[in-house]
Chain A
Amino acid sequence: QREDAAQMHQFILHAALDIVQDLAWTTSAMYLKAIDRFNDLVVSVYVTAGHTRLMLLHDSRNDDGIKSFFQEVHELYIKILLNPLYLPGSRIASSHFDTKVRALARKYL
């Protein structure tokens, strides 16, 4: 059951990409706010200048926190991008990145 729910979350995020793809060009802001929802789950999206999409699936409404979270994750992501060994678009394997993002999630969400 739990596994199903986890998979469902991924499906929702994946489906939201369609909306992001249109919405990203309508605004100059990187934070697109909550753009999609399914049942009580909300998808918030942050699109970087390089069109990397940071997507957050949540049920709470904490707009400011989410925005700050996205901004900080973006900075972390830029640091990853600066790594010459990282091929943009490939999986981020850094455990440091992972722990940092988790810490940010605890802080803002």
Chain B
Amino acid sequence: MEPDVSVETSAMIRIAIIPIGKIPHQTLRDYYSMFLHHHTIPLSSISSFYTEEQKSPFTNQPWETGSLRFKFVLGGAPPSPWEDFQSNRKILAVIGVCHCPLSPDLDSVIEEFDGVCKGYASARVTRCFGFFPCDSQLEDGGKKGENLRLFPPADRQTQEMHLQTMMQEIAASLLMEFEKYVFQAESAGTILKTPLDSQASLSSEEVYFQVIKAKKRRLGRAQKTIGDYCLLAGSPVDANAHYSTALELARLTADYFWYAGALEGSVCALLIDRIGLKDPSLEDEVRYRYSNVILHYKKSFIPENAQRVSPLSFELEANLKLARYLCRRELAKDVVDLLTSAADGAKSLIDATDRLILYVEIARLFGTLGYQRKAAFFSRQVAQLYLQQDSKLAAISALQVLAMTTKAYRVQSRASISNKSHINEVGSSHADSGKMHHQSVVSLFESQWSTLQMVVLREILLSAVRAGDPLAAWSAAARLLRSYYPLITPAGQNGLARAIANSSEMLPSGIRCSDPALPFVRLYSFPPHTSQMDIVKRNPAREDWWVGSAPSGPFIYTPFSKGEPNDSSKQELIWIVGEPVQILVELANPCGFNLMVDSIYLSVHSGNFDPFPISVDLPPNSSKVITLSGIPTSVGLVTIPGCTVHCFGVITEHLFRDVDNLLHGAAQGLVLSDPFRCCGSPKLKNVSVPNISVVPPLPLLVSHVVGGDGAIVLYEGEIREICISLANAGTVPVEQAHISLSGKHQDSVLSISYETLKSVLPLKPGAEVILPVTLKAWKLGLVDLDNASGSMGRQLKDNSSPSLLIHYAGPLTDCEDPPNGSAVPPGRRLVVPLNICVLQGLSFVKARLLSMEIPAHVGENLPKPIYLENSGSKEAIGSETKMDGLVKIDPFRGSWGLRFLELELSNPTDLVFEISVSVQLDSTEDKLSAGQDETEYGYPTTRIDRDFSARVLIPLEHFKLPILDGSFFMKDFKPDGAAGSRNSSFSEKSAKAELKASINNLISRIKVRWQSGRTSSGELNIKDAIQAALKTSAMDVLLPDPLTFGFRLVRNNLSQESGDSKPKGSVLAHDMTPMEVLVRNNTKEMIRMSLNITCRDVAGENCVEGTKATVLWSGVLNGITIEVPPLQESKHSFSLYFLVPGEYTLIAAALIEDANDLLRARAKTNSPEEPIFCRGPPFHVRVIGTA
């Protein structure tokens, strides 16, 4: 069988083109391609070379329209045994091609050519063409044999023209040779035999009529051959005439084989005659005649010959010829039938090469018909036949044939997909990634004939290995592994991995392959800028340019941002030239071998990004999220379609989109397996690739806390100053900066030194500034306390710490890029989290109000209040005065009446705390401490060891108001007139508010500070506790009694002289002791009262009155009526005579007459009848002497 047969093949003159001498491969190709242009020579063009020696046998030659057709047999071919049967199979001319520069000796060229021509007995014309001869050769060549034709060196166009002329000359010579042959054949009658005849003729020769038949048969065959030559000479009408005769004779002699041959020739003559015509009747004619041809070839089949030789190949060729003639979409059914029956013949073909050719032709015809799958099927058959040959060349052919089938089986290498469609695909999938319609997903994975695909890939791998094409082998194994790993056993996967490794060893290092192997790479996330280097759009119109650039508040949607064009599906990302960026990708190795990725880095085609490669080791069936980083190098857009991976010795590009599609398919159940899921990686939402733009360099502030970036550990209430160092790590100066606070516990930042920052602007690159910040630890809530009991780490995690937000920006105008001036370079935001870890400090247990009275001794003078002069120097107060400092005499009560606020504190920490309490006095409120603008009373520190509790007493003094003013009560206790109107209720409220304010004022003056170690100090925040403790008795603490009483000894001169030995302030028994009682009115109104004085002994018995009175007296003790003017004192003198030495107590009491509302309110009585009784504190009198 012959390849590429068609109906017209019968009219083609075969010319062998044979290289003579040395010719470089490429040059030879060039020469061949020049010949191929001249496959048709019009008869009209050859008339100048044609000389009619006799009258031409081609009487009906169409000199105007006809032409000679050449079929060039490049490199020559051995003679066919069927030459006699079909003259077109003969090599009728030989052309030698010689590249003169490499073959200097023309004689040897001619010699070699002559030798070659001897092999082609059927050749009627021989020429040797010498290209690019030198001058000497040109000269020489003129004298050499007629067969040598030298082409002077010239450009290609000129040479082609020369060649055309030469070919026309050859055509003319051939035509004349054909004429000669025909004359000869008509007269002499040559014996024409085919391999079919040899035996059949032997057995039937004896019979007489068989001899006649054989003569007729010979005649018929000669006619057929003449017809063939007519056809070759381009004269179809003559050919037809001879074929008709031949047909007649063949039919008579039952020479079916030759009958079919003649019929075939007649069809060819018909087509050549009506060349360019395509009418249905012609088509029907051709189809009819060819079915006849096929039928007669079938008839000529002789069973006993079948082993050796068979006309089957002619039958199949006829099938193919007809199929090629009909090969159009409309006639697909007929063509398919023809090709199917041709394919059926394949198994009867003896020669494997014939089968190969048959399958090739069938595949080609199916391909022409548009039946890609059919074509692929037969191509694969061809490849299998090639692979059976077990030679390298055959394997290369198999590889090439299989490469053509990959499209139909959808396993094509990405390299074979044309670039244009590739780009389109990128664009379209970029636009609607994520919301792919499921129908399109189905179409994406349609015709997943995984078995076929695997078989084809395996065959490609096999043939590539045999053909010694390591890259193809690598690519096939990579595709096989990547697409079909779930269907391959671990052992098979290992084998593939070995195949990949083996082929990569043969590849030069750094070679690229368009088909990715493992691992699967998908986008994991684009981490936004860290809070340390966040980018903020700058609004140049505003002073606070950062406002509105970031969503403020907890809401994702704000109606205010509606006007801005925001494409919600597209995230915008800004990268900065020169600042490294990171992208997280996830790698998966679903196969059963350890995968070593030599390097992986982001693949960026825009050319303004420097990726940093890293290497990864992936254990079997594992996935890993890795960080890929890089540096943008210039301003512009960056697109990241995938990663470049260097694995198995080859560099491949892994596109994210492919894996996305795969995962999408897996989600729909269309693909075998999700490589990430089978590695145990959780399902990931589709990550959309944001639009990334690179902007010019911006300043970059880097912060750290001086003295370590660890958590700042503070005890509750602790106050500390820390320093934050800000350094400009960018290449652009910081020109604007602003600090604000965010997060919880913002009030814990007491002060930030804004001025320090302002003063150093602009901050040059590399410059540093240290910013002092004062912190005060907050109080732990209940939840925090629970956390604190756990680990410290947990506490750090919850974002309870405040952060400093520093908005800063570089210069407004960008000098480098004036056309881009409209876009202001963005600013940045630095978030400095103040990592405050608050530890539980002293814990407050409870507060109590204690009251206590230390009775005063009746002395010569009224006790004087002691004022502490300077509170700050606690050490200055000696131990003697300490008591005095602690217990102060109430000037109004005359006794040492004390009220203490007792705070119970416990120390659960492992540190020692020292507590100091101080009270601030406001001079404007306290007249008695006039002269000192603001006094602070300090008390000795209290030390609380760890795990101990302590009670700290805070004396509540200096709080008494000097005057019992009605303002506190008047409204409160106004006799509830019927007109309890709103007015009164309003004033009531305001009065209460006033009272509250004064209580608050009182409380705020108490400060409980603590110190622990050298560095930690702070303040307890126990206002609420104090308030709660004081709530009930605030009045008592604040308000003075309406009356204060005091006793005093009135000494006469006599006793003073003799009183040397007596202890001071004591009274002698059996002595008349003059005394005074002082009554002070603390109100603003005159008070009339009846005063009583009683004296009690140690047992509490009244010793002035009664039967066993031990004290005598002079003066009035009972019912003394005194009127005390407002804010004045009154004295009443009396004398006592003590009979028995010992301790006595003097108590003054007064019954206020005509008490007003104010007093009544103070006494907390309501009924106007009830007497207001006012009692003074007890005064002690020590009486000494002998009984």
CA distance A14 to B378 in the complex (A): 12
Residue in contact with A39 in the complex, picked from B344, B377, B409, CB distance below 8 Å: B344
- Is B751 interfacial (CB-CB < 8 Å)? no
- Is B928 interfacial (CB-CB < 8 Å)? no
Taking chain B's interface residues, is the majority helix, strand, or loop, or is none over half, making it mixed? Answer: helix
CA distance A89 to B441 in the complex (A): 10
| Cross-chain contact B340 with A36 (CB below 8 angstroms) | yes
List, in ascending order, chain B residues with CB within 8 A of A15's CB: 373-374, 376-378
| Cross-chain contact B670 with A87 (CB below 8 angstroms) | yes
- Is B366 interfacial (CB-CB < 8 Å)? yes
| Cross-chain contact A18 with B668 (CB below 8 angstroms) | no
| Cross-chain contact A10 with B452 (CB below 8 angstroms) | yes
| Cross-chain contact B373 with A18 (CB below 8 angstroms) | yes
| Cross-chain contact B449 with A14 (CB below 8 angstroms) | yes
List, in ascending order, chain B residues with CB within 8 A of A36's CB: 336, 340
CA distance A14 to B366 in the complex (A): 14
| Cross-chain contact A87 with B377 (CB below 8 angstroms) | no
* Residues 1-27 (chain A) with a chain B CB within 8 angstroms: 7, 10-12, 14-19, 22-23
CA distance A87 to B572 in the complex (A): 35
Q: Which residue of chain A has its CB nearest to the CB of B448?
A: A91
CA distance A1 to B668 in the complex (A): 35
List, in ascending order, chain A residues with CB within 8 A of B1116's CB: none
CA distance A16 to B377 in the complex (A): 9
Q: Which residue of chain A has its CB nearest to the CB of B456?
A: A11
B373, B376, B380, B446 — most chain A CB neighbours (10 Å): B373
Distance (Å) between the CB of A90 and the closest chain B CB?
A: 5
| Cross-chain contact A14 with B344 (CB below 8 angstroms) | no
Residue in contact with A38 in the complex, picked from B343, B447, B451, B668, CB distance below 8 Å: B343
Residue in contact with A37 in the complex, picked from B340, B449, B451, CB distance below 8 Å: B340
Q: Which residue of chain B has its CB nearest to the CB of A4?
A: B455
List, in ascending order, chain A residues with CB within 8 A of B159's CB: none
List, in ascending order, chain A residues with CB within 8 A of B370's CB: 18
Residue in contact with B377 in the complex, picked from A12, A23, A89, A90, CB distance below 8 Å: A12
Q: Which residue of chain A has its CB nearest to the CB of B670?
A: A90
List, in ascending order, chain A residues with CB within 8 A of B1171's CB: none
CA distance A62 to B455 in the complex (A): 31
Binary contact track B376-417/A, C-beta < 8 Å → 1, others 0? 111010000000000000000000000000000100000000
* Residues 336-359 (chain B) with a chain A CB within 8 angstroms: 336, 340, 343-344, 347
Distance (Å) between the CB of A24 and the closest chain B CB?
A: 13
CA distance A30 to B378 in the complex (A): 28
- Is B1168 interfacial (CB-CB < 8 Å)? no
| Cross-chain contact A18 with B374 (CB below 8 angstroms) | yes
| Cross-chain contact B670 with A91 (CB below 8 angstroms) | yes
CA distance A91 to B377 in the complex (A): 24
| Cross-chain contact A19 with B442 (CB below 8 angstroms) | no
CA distance A16 to B438 in the complex (A): 27
**Chain B: number of interface residues, binned into ranges:** 20 to 34
| Cross-chain contact B670 with A10 (CB below 8 angstroms) | no
Binary contact track B449-460/A, C-beta < 8 Å → 1, others 0? 101100100000
List, in ascending order, chain A residues with CB within 8 A of B343's CB: 38
| Cross-chain contact B374 with A39 (CB below 8 angstroms) | no
List, in ascending order, chain B residues with CB within 8 A of A90's CB: 442, 668-670
| Cross-chain contact B347 with A39 (CB below 8 angstroms) | yes
Binary contact track A35-79/B, C-beta < 8 Å → 1, others 0? 011110000000000000000000000000000000000000000
| Cross-chain contact A18 with B449 (CB below 8 angstroms) | no
List, in ascending order, chain B residues with CB within 8 A of A16's CB: 373
| Cross-chain contact A14 with B452 (CB below 8 angstroms) | yes
Taking chain A's interface residues, is the majority helix, strand, or loop, or is none over half, making it mixed? Answer: helix
| Cross-chain contact A87 with B452 (CB below 8 angstroms) | no
Q: Which residue of chain B has its CB nearest to the CB of A23?
A: B333
Distance (Å) between the CB of B388 and the closest chain A CB?
A: 13
| Cross-chain contact A10 with B449 (CB below 8 angstroms) | yes
Distance (Å) between the CB of B668 and the closest chain A CB?
A: 6
- Is B164 interfacial (CB-CB < 8 Å)? no
| Cross-chain contact A87 with B668 (CB below 8 angstroms) | yes
List, in ascending order, chain A residues with CB within 8 A of B333's CB: 22-23
- Is B372 interfacial (CB-CB < 8 Å)? yes
* Residues 474-518 (chain B) with a chain A CB within 8 angstroms: none
Residue in contact with B446 in the complex, picked from A10, A11, A22, A89, CB distance below 8 Å: A89
| Cross-chain contact A87 with B669 (CB below 8 angstroms) | yes
* Residues 655-701 (chain B) with a chain A CB within 8 angstroms: 668-670
CA distance A36 to B336 in the complex (A): 9
CA distance A39 to B381 in the complex (A): 13
Residue in contact with B332 in the complex, picked from A17, A22, A38, A89, CB distance below 8 Å: A22
- Is B35 interfacial (CB-CB < 8 Å)? no
List, in ascending order, chain A residues with CB within 8 A of B442's CB: 87-90
| Cross-chain contact A19 with B371 (CB below 8 angstroms) | yes
Distance (Å) between the CB of A9 and the closest chain B CB?
A: 10
List, in ascending order, chain A residues with CB within 8 A of B373's CB: 14-18
Given A11-B380, A38-B343, A87-B438, also A19-B374 (CB < 8 A): yes
Given A7-B451, A88-B442, also A18-B371 (CB < 8 A): yes
List, in ascending order, chain B residues with CB within 8 A of A14's CB: 373, 377, 409, 447, 449, 452
List, in ascending order, chain A residues with CB within 8 A of B670's CB: 87, 89-91
CA distance A88 to B439 in the complex (A): 9
List, in ascending order, chain B residues with CB within 8 A of A19's CB: 336, 371, 374
Binary contact track A80-99/B, C-beta < 8 Å → 1, others 0? 00000001111101000000
| Cross-chain contact B371 with A10 (CB below 8 angstroms) | no
Q: Which residue of chain A has its CB nearest to the CB of B665?
A: A90
* Residues 409-427 (chain B) with a chain A CB within 8 angstroms: 409
CA distance A39 to B336 in the complex (A): 14
CA distance A11 to B340 in the complex (A): 15
Q: Which residue of chain B has its CB nearest to the CB of A38?
A: B343
CA distance A42 to B344 in the complex (A): 12
CA distance A38 to B371 in the complex (A): 15
Distance (Å) between the CB of B967 and the closest chain A CB?
A: 83
CA distance A36 to B366 in the complex (A): 13
CA distance A12 to B670 in the complex (A): 23
Q: Which residue of chain B has its CB nearest to the CB of A26?
A: B333
List, in ascending order, chain A residues with CB within 8 A of B446's CB: 89
Residue in contact with A91 in the complex, picked from B340, B409, B669, CB distance below 8 Å: B669
List, in ascending order, chain A residues with CB within 8 A of B340's CB: 36-38
CA distance A94 to B675 in the complex (A): 23
List, in ascending order, chain B residues with CB within 8 A of A11's CB: 377, 380, 452, 455
CA distance A91 to B445 in the complex (A): 11
Q: Which residues of A contact B (CB under 8 A)?
A: 7, 10-12, 14-19, 22-23, 36-39, 87-91, 93
The 8 closest A-B pairs by CB, nearest first: A15-B377, A18-B371, A89-B442, A18-B373, A18-B374, A15-B374, A15-B373, A7-B455
Report 22 cross-chain contacts, Cβ distance below 8 Å, ordered by A residue.
A10-B449, A10-B451, A11-B377, A11-B380, A11-B452, A12-B377, A14-B373, A14-B409, A14-B449, A16-B373, A18-B373, A19-B374, A22-B333, A37-B344, A39-B344, A39-B347, A87-B669, A88-B442, A89-B446, A89-B670, A90-B670, A91-B669
Q: A11-B455, A91-B669 are in contact. List 6 more A-B contacts (CB 8 A).
A: A7-B451, A11-B377, A12-B377, A14-B447, A15-B377, A19-B374
